[in-house]
Amino acid sequence: MNMSIQQVVTDEAAAKRAKVAGRRYRRQQSAFDILILFAVVIGASVVYGFISPDTFAFNSFANIQNALYTIPIEVGIPALGVGVLMIAGEFDLSVGINYIFSSIVAAQLATNGLNVWLAALIGLLIGTGIGLLNGLITLRLRIPSFITTLGTSFFWLAATFFVHGASSQPFAPDPVFASLTAGSVGVIPATFLWWAVLALAFWGLLERNRIGNHIFGAGGNKQAAIATGVRVDRTKLLAFGLAGATAALGGILAASYIGNIAPSNGQALPLEAIAACVIGGLALGGGRGTILGIVLGSALIFWIRDVLLLLGAPGFYIDAPIGVLIIGAVAVYEVLRSRRS
């Protein structure tokens, strides 16, 4: 039945204003801001690298290759899972120890004779299981995921020492596995390809699949999602599982690339992954974010360390600028957002 309401706005200026405001608001959901930030900082680095290549080897093949190898395994791949979980409105602080535990178990199994692919699969399943357990505890007991995963991270740390001890675990898979996980296709590292494929898959899930709609709903307005029939708990559980899976995958690829796993690594991963997501434009409260943002945020965190190292900054100074970057980036996004709306 056709029904018209009164007084359709005929004032062209008003209609145009509304259209522009709508377009601006739409952009807030895209990764536009971080794309600009990324382009600016990389552009500046490339330019400076050309101006002074001896003191700042940014554009060297070695530096670029190292970046492409390292970003995915150091933060890029785990950040995908952490980010999707954040959009769903939850956190996982146990991804660091998950990264270690899953890969140590896989490496140990492989070193003791199990088929390396099977060992890797078991590692992945363990990681996914850790994530799902986080989800079950959070959702059934109705406690904040921040607390749950804080608690489980201690548990899995103890489990790591129990299963393996404090020494590092070597990992020397057969050449096929090694080349598929840590080799390269031409100049492009395998780890980067894994990251690219995963990012694409996650994008498809988040932006094109019904599950993604539910993830945004669960994180953006949980009551609204429940009211329209979304199974919020089930959706969140899936996100928890994905966070665990990507953590384990990152750990296994890192183990293959580096050749061993030290239990002391991975301490910084959860907060770095969250930082990457926040820099990438994700809202801490959930319901907002893009895969491109997560990818670029991960790259930016690596970039700032890389630049400082290239400039010869002492190791312990490196983390301070990351703190500045996190606060600065979010402050800039807030200013841009409030200016538009």
Partner 1 sequence: MGIDGMDKAAAERPVQRGESVTPLLELRNVNKHYGLNTVLNDVSIHVGQTEILALLGDNGAGKSTLVKTMSGVVQPDSGTLLWEGKQVELKAHTDAAELGIETIYQDSALVDSMTIARNIFMGRELVGPLGFMRLKEMREISSHVLKTIVAIEGIDSPDKLVGSLSGGQKQAVAIARAVHFKRTLLILDEPTSALAVRATEALFEYLRSLRTQGLSSVLVTHNLYDAYRICDRFVVMARGQVVFQATQQETSVDELIVHVSRG
What is the contact surface with partner 1 in residues (CB under 8 A)?
Answer: 1-9, 15, 18-19, 21-22, 25-26, 28-29, 204, 208-211, 213-214, 216-217, 220-221, 223-230, 283, 287-288, 341
Contact 248, 123 (CB under 8 A): yes
In the complex with partner 1, which residue's Cβ is closer, 76 or 219? 219
> Distance between CA atoms of 291 and 31, rounded to whole angstroms?
8
Query: Closest separation between CB of residue 85 and partner 1, Å?
Result: 16
In the complex with partner 1, which residue's Cβ is closer, 133 or 282? 282
Query: Closest separation between CB of residue 275 and partner 1, Å?
Result: 21
Measured in whole angstroms, how far is the alpha carbon of residue 72 from the centre of its chain?
Answer: 9
Query: Closest separation between CB of residue 254 and partner 1, Å?
Result: 30
Query: Closest separation between CB of residue 140 and partner 1, Å?
Result: 17
In the complex with partner 1, which residue's Cβ is closer, 288 or 305? 288
CA 171-191-282 angle, 5° bins: 120
> Distance between CA atoms of 148 and 305, rounded to whole angstroms?
31
Residue located via tokens 């080349």? 179
Residues whose CB is less than 8 angstroms from the CB of residue 177 and which lie 6 or more positions away in sequence, other chains included: 116, 117, 120, 256
Residue located via tokens 């950040």? 79
Query: Closest separation between CB of residue 230 and partner 1, Å?
Result: 5
In the complex with partner 1, which residue's Cβ is closer, 21 or 185? 21
In the complex with partner 1, which residue's Cβ is closer, 305 or 337? 337
**Consecutive H or E run containing 338:** helix 319-340
Backbone conformation region of residue 125, classed left if phi is above 0, alpha if psi is from -120 to 50, else beta: alpha
AA identity, residue 288: R
In the complex with partner 1, which residue's Cβ is closer, 40 or 208? 208
Query: Closest separation between CB of residue 229 and partner 1, Å?
Result: 4
> Distance between CA atoms of 84 and 90, rounded to whole angstroms?
9
In the complex with partner 1, which residue's Cβ is closer, 4 or 167? 4
Give Dmax over CA atoms of the chain in angstroms.
78
Contact 82, 146 (CB under 8 A): no
Query: Closest separation between CB of residue 19 and partner 1, Å?
Result: 7
Residues whose CB is less than 8 angstroms from the CB of residue 191 and which lie 6 or more positions away in sequence, other chains included: 68, 69, 70, 72, 73, 181, 182, 253, 257
